């Protein structure tokens, strides 16, 4: 039980994996490999961070409602965000522009749907989507959405999660999709996650 908080294992008291260590690991991982494999390593480290009950309590359970930027890297640009939700929400399918996003569940759950485009992309204002993957992210688990991936999220009241994004998504172009009309719409800052 190397990563457990205060668990004595083989005569050594393991230290909890803290936010500072996670950030430092993200920095070194993404400096060496900013591509999909590096991000996958960040995803597993985020799951490790979410095993720390003190981190979850301080930053998710006891935090005030809203979106909190826990860290933004001045050099690499990645962000660590705590999404403190009170109300249930279903998001429209959306992308993360030229960035990527990792969602780590802290409390309750998030139902994820991954989508693919069925159309040829010839019409920039309209798209046809089909769901290709559905699963539930439970506390301690993190899902990764590499650049260009389209997903939607559906969570109950009080579901809270920690998200790591490759950059500040408010500064880049992103789109969301209306499933009924097929309309492709530009997203405004903080419109959806």
Q: Which spans of this chain sit near Fe ion (rule: CB under 5 A)?
A: 193
Which CB sits closer to Fe ion, 8 or 136?
136
Give min distance, CB of 101 to Fe ion, in A: 5
Phi, psi of 101 (to 5 degrees): -145, 145
Which CB sits closer to Fe ion, 32 or 190?
190
Give min distance, CB of 75 to Fe ion, in A: 24
Among 85, 104, 84, 91, which Cα is nearest to 39's? 104
Which CB sits closer to Fe ion, 52 or 110?
110
Lookup: tokens for 180: 């009924």
Which CB sits closer to Fe ion, 5 or 185?
185
Give min distance, CB of 46 to Fe ion, in A: 15
Which CB sits closer to Fe ion, 72 or 114?
114
Among 120, 122, 101, 121, which Cα is nearest to 112's? 101
SS (H, E, C) 62-119: CCCCEEEEEEECCCCCCEEEEEECCCCEECCCECCCCCCEEEEEEECCEEEEEEEECC
Give min distance, CB of 96 to Fe ion, in A: 6
Give min distance, CB of 175 to Fe ion, in A: 12
Among 82, 152, 142, 71, which Cα is nearest to 111's? 152
Nearest residue to Fe ion, using CB?
193
């Amino acid at each position: 039980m190397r990563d457990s908080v205060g668990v004595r294992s083989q005569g050594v008291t393991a230290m909890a994996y803290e936010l500072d260590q996670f950030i430092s690991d993200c920095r070194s991982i993404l400096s060496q490999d900013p591509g999909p494999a590096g991000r996958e390593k960040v995803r597993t480290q985020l799951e490790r961070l979410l095993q720390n009950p003190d981190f979850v309590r301080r930053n998710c359970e006891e935090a005030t409602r809203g979106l909190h930027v826990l860290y933004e890297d001045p050099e690499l640009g990645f962000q660590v965000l705590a999404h403190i939700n009170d109300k249930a929400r279903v998001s429209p399918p959306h992308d993360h522009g030229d960035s990527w996003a990792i969602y780590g569940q802290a409390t309750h759950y998030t139902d994820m749907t991954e989508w693919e485009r069925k159309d040829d992309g010839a019409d920039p204002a309209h798209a046809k989507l089909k769901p290709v993957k559905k699963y539930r992210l439970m506390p301690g688990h993190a899902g990764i959405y590499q650049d260009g991936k389209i997903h939607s999220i559906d969570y109950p009241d009080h579901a809270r999660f920690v998200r790591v994004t490759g950059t500040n998504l408010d500064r880049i172009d992103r789109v969301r999709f209306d499933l009924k009309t097929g309309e492709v719409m530009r997203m405004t800052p903080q419109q959806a996650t």
